Amino acid sequence: MAATTRWKDTVANQFENTVDSLIDTVLSDEKITNITWENWTLCRHFEENQHIMLGGHDIEYNYVIYAYDQTSSSEISQDDRTIRKEGFIIPYMSGETINYIVDQNTSAMKLLRKLLSYTGRNEIEKNTFEFTDDFFMWLIYRVYNAKYNVESVPQGKELSIDSIKGFRGDTEDALTQVSATGESVMNIISTLSFILESSNLNQIKLHVGYTENANVSLKLQRGTVNIYFEEYQGQYELEELEQRIAKLYLTVYLEILPYLVQEYNTDISNEAWGHAVKIKFMRDVADSLSVKVKNRIAALDNENAERQ
């Protein structure tokens, strides 16, 4: 499933009208453009708008399914240069504000403006989490030091950063990337080598537990959020697919991620995270690695002595 982005509508304030606008007839692009979108199929999955309580607010939402042919101008045949694109939009209203969670990134604004028949500027604004390199490093630090529980949640809620399953970043050499994945990703060797090599963390995969959701697997990048539904365990498991996708993305965007960001900012304010803590973290990892290496060398020497 593609990564999602979130967008805020600065014009619309009538939710039912907005949902109707998303599934209205769409004009195909003119053939003079390099890329044309045509042959649209649009529908709302829920006949009646749905409601869920999140962040102390009643959230009204729906689930819109879209599909269209994307054709590039080329000398090759029509069949070879046409791709059928399919996806979803989760429009929702919180208070008096309408937002859209879309399974597209670079084309999301164009898609929304086309479906909503917006022709001017600033009707749609990006409303994403611009995760930083420092935020990703903080997540690794918290898991490495077994500081799993997140305190910045309302009473009656529980949130934990259970594990880091992968991360990726750029090195000082712009042509090189470093990454680590798998169950052993938090062992000290991979952690230390990654921290030393990476100059810019830009992606992380983590598992969190949230109240009645035992496992929510997320991939976070700057501005995008992806949920691995095949790994999900929780209260929405038995819901139909569209309802599960909608409820879980709304829960992640409106509760889980805001609480994580608030915890990060609280740690900074309390000096539980910052430059000095980061340096100590790297030293602790290096010291642990040094002990492990010495112990391993001693074990190998002993094995060699026993053979002789």
Say what the pLDDT of residue 33 is. 65
* Cross-strand partners of 72: 35
Domain boundaries, the chain: 5-126, 133-285
| Backbone dihedral angles phi then psi of residue 116, each to the nearest 5 degrees | -90, 0
Say what the pLDDT of residue 184 is. 45
> Which residue, chain included where needed, has tokens 């000095």?
276
Q: How far apart are CA 113 and CA 120, in angstroms?
A: 9
pLDDT in tens, the chain (308 residues): 789 999 999 999 999 999 999 999 887 766 656 788 989 999 999 999 999 999 999 999 999 999 999 987 765 555 557 899 999 999 999 999 999 999 999 999 999 999 999 987 889 999 999 999 899 989 988 988 889 999 999 999 999 999 888 777 654 443 334 444 444 445 555 566 666 655 577 888 999 999 999 999 999 998 999 999 999 999 999 999 999 999 999 999 999 999 999 999 999 999 999 999 998 988 887 787 777 778 878 888 787 777 76
239 SS3 class: coil
Q: How far apart are CA 41 and CA 65, in angstroms?
A: 8
> Which residue, chain included where needed, has tokens 């910052």?
274
Percentages helix, strand, coil for the chain (3-state, rounded to 5) are: 35, 35, 30
Q: How far apart are CA 238 and CA 232, in angstroms?
A: 11
Q: How far apart are CA 251 and CA 237, in angstroms?
A: 14
Closest CA to 250 of 42, 100, 43, 120: 100
Say what the pLDDT of residue 173 is. 41
Residue 38 CB coordination number (10 Å): 14
Which amino acid, residue 247? K
Say what the pLDDT of residue 203 is. 86
Say what the pLDDT of residue 199 is. 58
Say what the pLDDT of residue 198 is. 58
The residues, any chain, with a CB within 8 Å of residue 16's CB and separated by 6 or more, are 49
Say what the pLDDT of residue 72 is. 79
